[in-house]
Amino acid sequence: MHWQNDLLSSIEVGIVVLDREFRIEVWNQFMENHADKLPSEVIGKSLFSLFPEIEEQWLKSKAEPVFNLNTPVFIIWEQRPYLFKFASSRPITSDASHMFQNVTMFPLLSPDGTIQRLCLLVYDVTDEALRKLRIERLNDELKHMSRIDGLTGLYNRRYWQEQFDREYKLACRKQGRKSVMMLDIDHFKKVNDTYGHQAGDEVIRVLARVIQKSIRETDLAGRYGGEEFSIVLEDSDVDNAQKVGERIRRLAEAMSVEHEGHQIKFTVSIGVCEYTPEIASSIAWLDYADKALYLSKKSGRNRVTTFEPETA
């Protein structure tokens, strides 16, 4: 028995043997060290009374095929981060507050051929889990960076265009009420020439915040290029789009950007076009909004113009 005890103590894996009532029969050194409970404190006692973090019905349902079908069961950390709420084995160097665990449950055959016990093997996979989580987090950050314009926090042109093409196809299939809006900052070159490009960048950032305040989460806003922005308004006919455009125009006109002691005022011109089945492509739809934007500028700027077929 001594060599068996030595073997159980030397393995860097948790070993727990449970009977059908989930009373503990074997508790090795790994479990003693991480649970801070001696074998004398746990042997013969219910696992669930000692570890309330374990959901009784869930574990019993997992153990059912082990007892009744003589089949091993595996629980990986992606499904459930841990079975036993142990602290991280490296609390100073690890990012984790708890130990991530993989668990294997397998049947133990009795001399009469029945399954009266199962064995839990508890593996510390914290390092592996953290590596995978870091990679996933990095991939998410890279995906976010590939979609977002760094200056404004809105979608960049490439991603916005991809989503806009998708919105056009959805509108074609469902005949939904959608409108697209193009807008840019009036006399923006003058801002750059008078106050410098950093001031121009700040004006662009301020307008982006105005846009974000003026639209819904379901709408699609992007920086199309330079001082030009594009927006898809969901469930919006031309009248509602006109109201949103006016809201953006008024808020922009009321803003004052402070830069190196200067108060910079600016206005925006906006063009709007509602989707109709006659629009042949997403490019044509955006072009109609751009033509309406051109008419806003031609008519004196600081205004919202909606596209009308006879104005094309």
Residues belonging to the active site? 227
Q: For residue 78, give every residue at least 6 positions away whose Cβ sits within 8 Å of its Cβ, in sequence order, or none.
A: none
Its sign, for the CA torsion 34, 38, 44, 45, is negative
Task: Report the distance separating Cα 276 and Cα 285, nearest Å.
Answer: 9
Task: Look up residue 5 and give its two tokens.
Answer: 């005890």
Polymer length in residues for the chain = 312
Task: Report the distance separating Cα 5 and Cα 302, nearest Å.
Answer: 84
Residue 277 CB: number of other CB atoms within 10 A? 8
Task: Look up residue 72 and give its two tokens.
Answer: 């091993």
Question: Which own/partner contact pairs does 151-154 have at CB distance under 8 Å and 24+ positions apart?
Answer: 151/201, 151/204, 151/205, 151/208, 151/223, 152/204, 152/205, 152/208, 152/223, 153/208, 153/212, 154/208, 154/211, 154/212, 154/221, 154/222, 154/223, 154/229
Task: Report the distance separating Cα 285 and Cα 182, nearest Å.
Answer: 11
Task: Report the distance separating Cα 197 and Cα 209, nearest Å.
Answer: 19
3-state secondary structure of 240: helix
